[in-house]
């Protein structure tokens, strides 16, 4: 069996190839993964449930034998499904989702569940149920969220890739903070990953966080809905044509990025120009940022209010104050105070924003912005025990580029192009029109080739500590 660091350095496809050649077995990949989790997870707290049941009949798919994690927002048959909430601390998923069946058929082996903020509501992975997930680049910094556990596990070399989902940047933002590739497919591109639907669920796309573009591209090909328009398949090559790229730096809330982020952005513009693309600064789409923020959290609050009502009926006992975090309760109370017009108003607000965004970007192949307006914040900055208004204000300062793509339903990605000396990674954000995943992945391959990041390991990672 390969040593811990050697296997940790390999992406999912490389591990599957080792397994296919008989150089390592699925059981050995699984045991090595558990050893890596045992070595670093007590420090990082990325994994909240560990599946120690060895794989029995691994399917002979393209990822055959490869260990991975499922974000605890999403059910996986037989494993605890807490959604980061004390309300569901002992909940176990009874059945597999269509998405899960696709991943099993691809040969992936689930070694556990990764941490998230409660119900994926906040951009920092610290909960009253599970505690704090630490960024392996700097333990005092947040892994961001909500897919912080998945990002940390990949950045630390615990697994080569991890499932994530994204309702407003929850895949792309942690990928940026941890120096990884984070991709969000178009709405309805993949098969169903949940049992229920809601307006908040309609904003959410399931995919993965990975070290390599090819892992992400293959993952998309095995989860793609065959009935979706313009099938993507497995994108394997860099894009060959020159792109027209629109770009801006001001967030939806009217904020400009911190100087370190601006420097990283300028370097990215220079790289794209060097690669032959036409990069054109334009005015940001004139969306109503405060209204979009309010609509987004009303939709989230409505989804949680529905969960509370369902639990009240099922148990015959109301959900108790201590079963949900303070921020979650405030979202529920806000949507209840708004009344019956909350969802209709939010949908109308979203529709206006979609029209404005489409009109501003339709002449371009790709849109470029930073992923975050700030560097990753310190732990506690977005603690769920803080007041709602303060949390929304702090979130709005940093998270002002990514939610619009969820509202529009188009694909987007954070690419780890910038690793400032002595600082944390800074991702750059790219988006395309709905259905244009192949274009974005082709660009990602090209950027990966031009500025390789596969050997950029965090200080608190298996390769950095055990080589």
pLDDT at 196: 80
- Measure the CA–CA gap between 440 and 232, rounded to whole angstroms: 11
- What is the SS3 assignment for 147-204? CHHHHHHHHCCCCCEEEEEECCCCCHHHHHHHCCEEEECCCCCECCCCCCCCHHHHCC
Q: Where are the alpha helices (DSSP H) in 45-131?
A: 98-105
Which candidate, 191, 135, 129, places its Cα nearest to that of 385? 129
User: For the segment 219-260, what is each residue's pLDDT rounded down to a tens digit?
Assistant: 999 999 999 888 999 999 999 999 999 999 999 999 999 999
For the residues 248-275, what does the mean pLDDT come to?
Answer: 98
Q: What is the DSSP string of 268-315?
A: HHHHHHHTT-EEEE-PPP---HHHHHHHHHHHHHHHHHHHHHHHHHHH
- As a whole number of angstroms, the distance between CA 150 and CA 74 comes to 12
Judge whether 238 lies within some domain.
yes
Q: Is the pLDDT of residue 1 over 50?
A: no
End-to-end CA distance of the chain: 15
351 domain-assigned: yes
**Domain count for the chain:** 1
User: In the annotation, is 170 catalytic?
Assistant: yes
List, in sequence order, every residue forming a beta bridge with 368; answer none if it has no partner: 247, 430
For residue 298, what pLDDT is reported?
A: 98
Distance between CA 130 and CA 227 in Å, rounded?
A: 38
Confidence at residue 230, expressed as pLDDT on a 0 to 100 scale: 87
Closest CA to 405 of 374, 375, 440, 381: 440
Q: Quick check: helix, strand or coil at residue 226?
A: coil
User: Is residue 321 assigned to a domain?
Assistant: no
Return the SS3 of 366: strand
Q: Which of 146, 346, 398, 461 is catalytic?
A: 146
Radius of gyration of the chain (CA): 21
With beta carbons less than 8 A apart as the criterion, state whether 151 and 209 touch.
Answer: yes
Percent of the chain at pLDDT > 70 equals 99
- Judged against a pLDDT cut of 70, whether residue 2 lies above it is answered with no
Domain assignment present for residue 284? The answer is yes
Residue 55 has pLDDT above 80, yes or no: yes
Give the whole-angstrom CA distance, residue 165 versus residue 120.
Answer: 9
Which tokens is 198 given? 């809601």
CA of residue 60 relative to chain centroid, distance: 27
Q: 10 in a domain, yes or no? A: yes
Cβ(155)–Cβ(137) under 8 Å?
yes
Identify the CA nearest to 351 among candidates 228, 165, 199: 199
User: 414, 179 in Cβ contact below 8 A?
Assistant: no
Nearest alpha carbon to residue 47 among 115, 131, 141? 115
pLDDT for 316-347, tens place per residue? 999 999 999 999 999 999 999 999 999 999 99
Q: What is the pLDDT of residues 157-189, one digit of tens each?
A: 999 999 999 999 999 999 999 999 999 999 999
In a domain, 302, yes or no: no
CA of residue 228 relative to chain centroid, distance: 22
Element of type H or E holding 1 = none
Give yes or no for a cis peptide into 385 (omega within 30° of 0): no
- The tens digit of pLDDT for each residue in 404-426 reads 999 999 999 999 999 999 889 99
Which tens digit of pLDDT belongs to each residue from 360-389? 999 999 999 999 999 999 999 999 999 999
Tokens found for residue 122: 């906040």
Tell me whether residue 391 is in a domain: yes
Q: 329 lies in a domain?
A: no
- Which region holds residue 119: left if phi is over 0, alpha if psi is between -120 and 50, else beta? left
Mean pLDDT score across all residues of the chain: 97
Is residue 242 annotated as a catalytic residue, yes or no? no
Distance CA 206, CA 193 (A): 7
Which DSSP letter does residue 120 get?
G
Alpha carbons within 13 A on the beta-carbon side of 195 = 11
CA distance 38 to 40: 6
How far from the centroid of its chain's Cα atoms is residue 161's Cα? Answer: 11
Task: Give the CATH number for residue 101.
Answer: 3.90.1300.10
Q: What is the pLDDT of residue 56?
A: 84
Active-site residue, 352 included: no
Phi and psi, residue 16, nearest 5°: -65, -35
Instruction: Domain of residue 459: give its range.
Output: 4-288+346-466
Q: What's the predicted TM-score (pTM) here?
A: 0.98
Which string of DSSP letters, residue by residue, matches 249-268? ---TTSPPPPHHHHHHHHHH
d(CA 212, CA 230): 24
Question: According to the model, what pLDDT value does residue 229 have?
Answer: 80
**Chain-centre distance for alpha carbon 155:** 13
Show Cβ contacts of residue 411 under 8 Å, excluding neighbours closer than 6 positions. Answer: 183, 184, 185, 186, 189, 405, 431, 432, 434, 435, 436, 437, 440
Closest CA to 286 of 344, 346, 358, 343: 358
Q: Residue 407: which of 275, 264, 316, 288 has the closest Cα?
A: 288
* CB neighbours of residue 187 within 10 Å: 20
Which of 170, 205, 383, 461 is an active site residue? Answer: 170
Per residue in 193-221, pLDDT (tens digit) is: 988 889 999 999 999 999 999 999 999 99
């Amino acid at each position: 069996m390969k040593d811990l660091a050697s296997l940790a350095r390999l992406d999912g496809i490389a591990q599957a190839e080792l397994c296919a050649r008989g150089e390592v077995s699925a059981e050995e990949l699984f045991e090595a993964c558990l050893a890596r989790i045992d070595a670093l997870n007590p420090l990082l707290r990325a994994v909240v449930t560990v599946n120690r049941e060895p794989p029995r009949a691994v399917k002979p798919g393209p990822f055959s034998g490869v260990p991975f994690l499922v974000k605890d927002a999403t059910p996986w048959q037989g494993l605890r499904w807490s959604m980061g909430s004390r309300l569901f601390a002992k909940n176990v998923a009874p059945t597999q989702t269509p998405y899960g069946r696709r991943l099993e058929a691809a040969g992936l082996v689930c070694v556990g569940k990764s941490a998230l903020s409660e119900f994926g509501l906040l951009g920092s992975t610290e909960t009253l149920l599970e505690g704090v997930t630490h960024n392996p680049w700097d333990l005092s910094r947040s892994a961001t969220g909500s897919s912080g556990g998945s990002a940390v596990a990949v950045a630390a070399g615990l697994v080569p890739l991890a499932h994530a989902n994204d309702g407003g940047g929850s895949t792309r933002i942690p990928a940026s903070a941890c120096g990884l590739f984070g991709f969000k497919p178009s709405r309805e591109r993949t098969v169903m990953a949940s049992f229920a639907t809601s307006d908040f669920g309609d904003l959410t796309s399931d995919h993965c966080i990975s070290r390599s573009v090819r892992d992400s591209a293959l993952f998309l090909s095995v989860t793609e809905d065959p009935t979706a328009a313009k099938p993507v398949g497995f994108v394997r090559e860099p894009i060959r044509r020159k792109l027209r790229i629109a770009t801006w730096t001001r967030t939806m809330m009217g904020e400009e990025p911190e100087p370190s982020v601006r420097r990283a952005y300028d370097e990215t513009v220079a790289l794209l120009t060097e690669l032959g693309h036409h990069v054109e600064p334009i005015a940001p789409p004139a969306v109503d940022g405060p209204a979009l923020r309010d609509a987004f959290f009303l939709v989230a609050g409505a989804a949680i209010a529905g969960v509370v009502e369902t639990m009240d009926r099922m148990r015959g006992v109301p959900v108790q104050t201590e079963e949900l975090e303070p921020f979650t309760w405030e979202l529920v109370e806000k949507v209840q105070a708004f009344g019956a017009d909350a969802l209709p108003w939010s949908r109308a607000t979203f529709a206006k924003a979609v029209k404005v965004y489409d009109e501003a970007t339709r002449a371009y192949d790709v849109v470029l912005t930073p992923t975050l307006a700030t560097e990753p914040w310190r732990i506690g900055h977005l603690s769920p025990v803080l007041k709602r208004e303060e949390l929304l204000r702090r979130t709005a300062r940093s998270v002002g580029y990514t939610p619009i793509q969820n509202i529009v339903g188009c694909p987007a990605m954070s690419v780890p192009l910038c690793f400032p000396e002595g600082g944390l990674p800074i991702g750059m954000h790219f988006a395309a029109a709905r259905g244009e995943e192949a274009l974005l992945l082709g660009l990602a391959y090209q950027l990966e080739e031009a500025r390789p990041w596969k050997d950029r390991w965090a200080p608190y990672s298996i390769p950095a500590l055990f080589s």
